Structure 1
């Protein structure tokens, strides 16, 4: 719609400016200069000058879209040449009929120049609208590709997440834990969020934080005291929004590689909101050298997809770092968030 409005605005401004300069301004100058003979001549030949309007738009709005916009250059120039001859003949006949003071000749510069100028400007107008049309089409195609890619990435992340959580429930059922029912209820909340919120373009940051807290709580039930799980929220997230399911893949990845046979494993999740709608998100977990190398080679479907989503959605408003140092794997994400429209 924005591109459509820009196209309409350009067409309106160009048309008003051109016909004002070409038709109205000479009359206005004659009035301001007090040149009665020039004013009389301008008013006398006004119908001949206005004759250019239908020919101008016939060329710009019919011939150019039909041939020039489709790359049929030869057909366009042949058609425009025919239109030029018709326009010139009509202009000469009408001007000769209106003007008695002198004979109107086809080869006279005062006859040829107006016809050539109006035809040339209509072709320029057609070329500019062609460029605008191609630019608009390219932007629309880019937007469609981005939406399709985002939908594909989301469709991959959701099954991946469910698979991980179901593994947790299977584990609890196998050990006959009393927490199996509680975890199943928590999972239902998470799936509800995925079904009803993740299809939105943006969600409230508060909801995404609640989603992370539910996920962390579920993992605490599963691992108990075997894994030190900490989550810290600093700042006020009210009124801010972000792409749904954007943060959870980093947390999933931490649990995938940060627990198991490690000694004293931990998962630290920190989210901070500062001035300028800046969100800083960090996930740290202990990992072995083998796990760190595995992450370097392949950080998993979730991380690959979320990296691509961030690049598409926040092209000039993000910073993402994944690094391992001294057995600690650290994910740092900085985003400039938008205010919620809700």
Structure 2
């Protein structure tokens, strides 16, 4: 408010006097007042247009040439507006263009600098708050993520299945051990990175799903389609697994015709991911309380990591629990 008050005072404090025409005439005073108020409005619009549109959409996206063209265009508009005003509303006089341009340039530069500084400071504060909240959230969920992926029921069942395969001397034992080793290695080492290739994330999902398929056998119908495409996209590690784990957690057990459907594909720099599972709303079965980080925490993590660059829908329909996620990868 103080900054706007100072700015609004500038035309009265710094406006150059022009003795070549009589400003004491009432009609010219009214004309100048109208011009000043209109200039206020234009400058206020320019302030927020630069802060909310030009800076985020042009400067931050490295479109510097476009940004300069817009700024120069607005400055020319301001000079033209001043020239047109003097031509129409003031009595004929010898116009001194230089002071008018200098005054317009000074006012324009002041608003441009203030607007740019204002938006950059606001964005920096938002980034710092978001970074701090993200760090706190990641620390809170780290243990839950580890518990989620090393849940006792999952690990014990996988290991018991492998013991059974070893006794039968099954050829499936070796690839199962490789999948479990790959899953553990990714979880304990590669998941420490800020981002990982989407291909690695889907390989981790596939290993997890394969081990669950081996665990449940024919008791659960599992349909999987993971298409990452040829583009080298990156994603935060272990971002998708909670949805898959949740499907196995609530979509198995005392459920008739248990089925889990998992789909992933990319189109136009966007990731489309969906998980569907049948559930029994009347079941009172107590699930493993140590597994899973909860969809509420997943939503919070998505908000911190992606802000407005994701869409998440969670719905229950006709005994189906449906999760649909869309991420902007760039």
Q: TM-score range by the shorter chain?
A: 0.5 to 0.7
Range moving further from structure 2, 310-319 or 180-189? 180-189
Q: Which residue of 2 aligns with 1:226?
A: 219
**Contact 2:310–2:325 (8 Å) recurs in 1:** yes
Q: Which has the higher contact order (CA 8 A, sep 6+)?
A: 2
1:196-207 maps to which residues of 2 (within 5 A)? 196-207=189-200
Q: Structure 1 stretches (4+) deviating beyond 4 angstroms?
A: 128-139, 173-182, 291-295
1:267-286 maps to which residues of 2 (within 5 A)? 267-275=260-268, 277-286=269-278
**Contact 1:205–1:237 (8 Å) recurs in 2:** no
Instruction: Give the one of 160, 168, 173 matched to 2:157.
Output: 168
Shift of 1:231: 0.8
Shift of 1:184: 4.3
Q: Which residue of 2 aligns with 1:36?
A: none
3-state SS, counterpart of residue 273 of structure 1: strand
Deviations along 1:84-126, whole A, 9 cap, x unmatched?
Answer: xxxxxxxxxxxxxxxxxxxxxxxxxxxxxxxxxxxxxxxxx9x
Deviations along 1:191-212, whole A, 9 cap, x unmatched?
Answer: 1001222111111111111111
Say what the alpha-carbon RMSD is for the aligned residues. Answer: 3.5
Q: Which residue of 2 aligns with 1:263?
A: 256
Q: Which residue of 2 aligns with 1:150?
A: 138
Which structure's residues are more often helix, by fraction? 1
Once residues 265 and 144 of structure 1 are traced to their aligned partners in structure 2, the CA distance between those partners, rounded to angstroms, is 42
Instruction: Give the one of 177, 188, 196 matched to 1:195.
Output: 188
2:290 pairs with 1:287? no
3-state SS, counterpart of residue 238 of structure 1: coil
Give the total of aligned pairs: 211
Q: Which residue of 1 aligns with 2:312?
A: 320
Unaligned runs of 5+ in 2: 1-112
Note closer, same or farther for the CA distance 1:281–1:291 as it changes in structure 2 (3 Å cut): farther
Once residues 246 and 120 of structure 2 are traced to their aligned partners in structure 1, the CA distance between those partners, rounded to angstroms, is 45
Q: Which residue of 2 aligns with 1:71?
A: none
**Contact 1:208–1:244 (8 Å) recurs in 2:** yes
2:324 pairs with 1:332? yes
Structure possessing the higher radius of gyration over alpha carbons: 1
Once residues 327 and 222 of structure 1 are traced to their aligned partners in structure 2, the CA distance between those partners, rounded to angstroms, is 23
Unaligned runs of 5+ in 1: 1-124
Q: Which residue of 2 aligns with 1:305?
A: 297
**Contact 2:145–2:293 (8 Å) recurs in 1:** yes
**Contact 2:195–2:236 (8 Å) recurs in 1:** yes
